[in-house]
Amino acid sequence: MLSRLSPRLLSSSPRLLSSSIRTLVNVTYPSPSVAVLELDRPPVNSLSLEMATSITSHIKQIESDPQIRSLILTSSNPKIFSAGLDITEMSRPSKTRLSTFWRSIQSLFLTLYSTRLSTISCITGHSPAGGCLLSMSCDYRVMSRNPKLGIGLNETRLGIAAPFWLKDLFVKTVGYREAELGLSRGKLYSPEEALKIGLVDEIVDGEVYDVAVERAEEYAEIPEKGIVATKRMCRGELVRDLEGKIEEDVGWFTDFILEEGTQKGIEGYLKSLSKK
Ligand SMILES: CC/C=C\C/C=C\C/C=C\CC/C=C/CC(=O)SCCNC(=O)CCNC(=O)[C@H](O)C(C)(C)COP(=O)(O)OP(=O)(O)OC[C@H]1O[C@@H](n2cnc3c(N)ncnc32)[C@H](O)[C@@H]1OP(=O)(O)O
């Protein structure tokens, strides 16, 4: 039923929908050419199979409306943009669920990274690991100045490693040496540090959402043909690399996660999170 509605009418607020058909995101339209996709999976917007699938399908719906030129990705939680992958998906999973989960993450990345829409990540809160992946997949990143926030790739802290395409995305964003340092140390950068290395493009003292809308409108004024061709030129190589290795990457991920040593690391990390 929901998918037959025009994207313009698609405001999937939890207030309007029963829990059985909750879509985990809210979509609104602050201006005729701009859509906002708000992550809404309490408590921390972690990316489960259902969450990743929902974000991907909403991006595709928004994309299908030719009037929409820019997309803002943000969070309903002012303190957390996204805590990254739902770690419980990787804890003692069945192999089938784990492969389907990873495919949903690959597909979310490919969809967001190569969309014709100009994408603005509006980072009001923490953005570790998969949260950083979502932000880096956008064209422009604005973040609140709050020094307590962290953004970066902390996979090594869980005893896991980023997949090759996330490492490549990080290298493209911040450069080789900084990426190597950040990845091996599992570093989460403060907004000031992130700005310095180019992990975010702007930090904002006041209302970060208003700045994101302004930037989205600026992007929407640039002729679409030029911007799409440029995006394809800058991003095509990484997209093709992953598309050519989808099955290999699923194999690496499932083998790596299902190893007993990895499982022990994930279990320990989950315990440390819930003890806090
Ligand atoms: C050589 C290479 C070979 C092969 C490579 C192939 C494949 C690659 C293999 C693996 C790659 C996998 C990639 C992974 C990327 C990821 O995204 S992993 C996830 C990383 N995320 C984190 O580490 C974030 C952890 N969370 C936090 O730090 C904090 O929760 C946060 C700062 C976000 C918020 O803090 P706070 O407001 O204090 O909230 P709580 O910590 O109290 O959390 C509330 C409850 O939410 C639960 N929770 C938090 N994060 C997650 C999560 N990511 N997934 C699931 N659940 C999470 C937390 O446990 C609390 O639950 P509780 O209330 O205790 O039940």
CATH number of the structural domain spanning residue 176: 3.90.226.10
What is the rounded distance in angstroms from the CA atom of residue 56 to the CA atom of residue 34? Answer: 17
ipTM: 0.96
Res 185: pLDDT: 98
Of the candidates 188, 191, 166, the residue with the CA atom closest to the CA atom of residue 253: 166
pLDDT tens figures, 181-226: 999 999 999 999 999 999 999 999 999 999 999 999 999 999 999 9
Contact 90, 266 (CB under 8 A): yes
Q: Indicate which atom in ligand 1 lies nearest the CA of residue 80.
A: 33
Of the candidates 186, 187, 201, 206, the residue with the CA atom closest to the CA atom of residue 146: 206
Mean of pLDDT values over 72-83: 97
Q: Is residue 41 one of the residues assigned to a domain?
A: yes
Cis-peptide into 14, omega within 30 deg: no
Q: Is residue 1 one of the residues assigned to a domain?
A: no
Mean of pLDDT values over 104-109: 98
Q: Is residue 2 one of the residues assigned to a domain?
A: no
Is the CB of residue 91 below 6 angstroms from any atom belonging to ligand 1? no
Q: Is residue 80 one of the residues assigned to a domain?
A: yes
Total of domains in the chain: 1
Q: Is residue 153 one of the residues assigned to a domain?
A: yes
Which residue has its alpha carbon closest to ligand 1 atom 60? 274
Mean of pLDDT values over 252-272: 95
Q: Is residue 148 one of the residues assigned to a domain?
A: yes
Q: Is residue 92 one of the residues assigned to a domain?
A: yes
β-pairing, 34-39 vs 151-152, is unpaired
Res 202: pLDDT: 98
Measured CA angle at 229 (ends 133, 130), to 5 deg = 5
Is the CB of residue 161 below 6 angstroms from any atom belonging to ligand 1? yes
Active site amino acids: 85, 130, 154-155
What is the rounded distance in angstroms from the CA atom of residue 24 to the CA atom of residue 42? Answer: 9
Q: Is residue 13 one of the residues assigned to a domain?
A: yes
pLDDT at residue 11 tops 60: no
Q: Indicate which atom in ligand 1 lies nearest the CA of residue 129.
A: 17
What is the rounded distance in angstroms from the CA atom of residue 163 to the CA atom of residue 251? Answer: 11
Is the CB of residue 272 below 6 angstroms from any atom belonging to ligand 1? no
pLDDT tens figures, 87-96: 999 999 999 9
Q: Look up the domain containing 50 and give its range.
A: 7-275
Res 159: pLDDT: 87
What is the rounded distance in angstroms from the CA atom of residue 242 to the CA atom of residue 249? Answer: 8
pTM for this prediction: 0.93
Ligand 1 pocket test: which of 24, 41, 44, 109 has the largest number of ligand atoms within 8 Å of its C-beta? 44
pLDDT tens figures, 25-74: 999 999 999 999 999 999 999 999 999 999 999 999 999 999 999 999 99
Contact 110, 133 (CB under 8 A): no
- Chain position carrying tokens 């043909």: 225
Res 275: pLDDT: 73
How far does the centroid of ligand 1 lie from the alpha carbon of residue 87, in Å?
5
Range with the lowest mean pLDDT among 72-86, 115-129, 170-184, 262-276?
A: 262-276
